[in-house]
Amino acid sequence: MQYFLTEEQKTIKDLARKIAEERILPVRAQLDEKEEFPWSIMKDIADSDLFRIFVPAEYEGLGYGCLELCLALEELSRACSGVAISFAVSALGSYTLIDYGSETLKRKYLPDIASGKKLAAFALTEPTAGSDASAIRTTAEKVAGGYLINGTKQFITNGGEAAVYTIIALTDKSKGTRGASAFIVDKDTPGFTFGKKEKKLGIRASATRELVFQNCLVPEENLISRPGMGFIMAMKLLDKSRPSVGAQAVGIAQGALEAAYDYTQQRVQFGQPLILQPVVQNMLADMALQVEAARSLVYAAARNVDSGKDYTESSAMAKVFASDVAMRVTTDAVQLCGGAGYMKDYPVEKMMRDAKITQIYEGSNQVLRSIIASELRKRKAANK
């Protein structure tokens, strides 16, 4: 399939594939087993300038868009999506700052994120607020010298590893979502600590922790945009970043398809390689078809984001479709590898575990299906 990528886009893809094959593949099983944060691979990614993809050129980035980030993520996820997400969340943690932050804040934080010296994270979810993000309880009270933050964020990727956190907190509890605001918080701010590191089914190389704020004083200039804009900015950020989750899913599915192909080609049963069985060929063909359809939708959604036009629906579609494909394709890959596929000596059981999260985070697939349905209703009402 031709995707008409530019030479620069192909270079990004090749660079990410090189890191994936030379640096991630040899250690992915160990990272998964030991739940080890991949700091040395983050350094390789930084040295290859891939963190610069999503940062504008004025702040030492390369100023590329969503499609370029998706291309890099797909390749990294083909090897290990736990590593890929640790990289991707730096973009998630930076977008609000990039799109709405003051010049001072951008100059202070973005060059170090672009160089990979500092990782970023994004914190919206709380124990009481998952799919219903409007139920957050973390508060940011205006006091002399800034805002005093109190509350707990849950399930935060890169928590404890990132140096820079974009967090959403209520500056006016009486206004509900209109009273939420976004702040940049440095890791070493007094009153900011980390809770337990979660033990997970998949993406085990990534770190997921609680963030705990107890009278954490953040300077006023760390407020992004205006008070009350936090929820709106968070929703826009998620719309922008969902194709990246789709790309992660496509990478996982591609890796599983290739592993299943290789296995069925070399495994002999009934006197011939499994791949010669028509039923096996049908399964591989269906897997390939689904991966390609998901890739097409993800690239189209990423291009939509880069066009700046309304992308809520296309981003949700790409994330839902690609993550459902990743779950099906990885499950079929385990099936095609038989008992071996169930063992940790083969990569497909890890891919199946890793695929699951893509259906859950950045808006669960059920919630996103309701967003797609609501966009359908809007289109119908507008006769479009």
Ligand X SMILES: Cc1cc2nc3c(=O)[nH]c(=O)nc-3n(C[C@H](O)[C@H](O)[C@H](O)COP(=O)(O)OP(=O)(O)OC[C@H]3O[C@@H](n4cnc5c(N)ncnc54)[C@H](O)[C@@H]3O)c2cc1C
Phi, psi dihedrals of residue 145, rounded to the nearest 5°: 90, 0
Strands 272-273 and 268-269: antiparallel
Binding mask 47-86 for ligand X (x = CB under 6 A): ----------------------------------------
Name the one range near ligand X by CB under 6 A: 31-39, 120-128, 219-227, 271-279: 120-128
| Shortest Cβ 130–ligand X spacing (Å) | 2
The verdict on 366 binding ligand X (CB under 6 A) reads yes
Q: Name the active-site residue from 74, 126, 161, 362.
A: 362
The verdict on 361 binding ligand X (CB under 6 A) reads yes
The separation between CA 158 and the C-alpha centre of its own chain, rounded to angstroms, equals 11
Strand residues in the chain grouped as ranges (E): 120-123, 139-143, 146-157, 164-170, 180-186, 192-197, 208-218, 223-224, 268-269, 272-273
Residue nearest to ligand X (CB): 130
Exposed, middle or buried, 363 (CB in 10 Å: 0-12/13-18/19+)? buried
State the Cα–Cα distance between residues 269 and 284, nearest whole angstrom: 17
The separation between CA 90 and the C-alpha centre of its own chain, rounded to angstroms, equals 9
Name the one range near ligand X by CB under 6 A: 94-102, 153-161, 263-271, 274-282: 153-161
| Shortest Cβ 111–ligand X spacing (Å) | 23
Residue of 292, 290, 368, 360 lying closest to 330 (CA atoms): 290
Kindly tell me which residue out of 157, 222, 254, 290 binds ligand X, with binding defined by CB under 6 A. 157
For residue 268, the cross-strand partners are: 273
Whichever of 280 and 351 has its CB closer to ligand X, that residue is 351
State the Cα–Cα distance between residues 68 and 244, nearest whole angstrom: 10
Instruction: Reply yes or no on whether 362 is catalytic.
Output: yes
Size of the site for ligand X (CB under 6 A): 20
The verdict on 208 binding ligand X (CB under 6 A) reads yes
Name the one range near ligand X by CB under 6 A: 39-47, 121-129, 306-314, 318-326: 121-129
Whichever of 87 and 122 has its CB closer to ligand X, that residue is 122
State the Cα–Cα distance between residues 117 and 144, nearest whole angstrom: 32
Whichever of 15 and 136 has its CB closer to ligand X, that residue is 136
Please list the active-site residues. Answer: 362
Instruction: List interacting residues with ligand X (CB under 6 A).
Output: 89, 122-125, 130-131, 155-157, 200, 208, 357, 360-362, 364, 366-367, 370
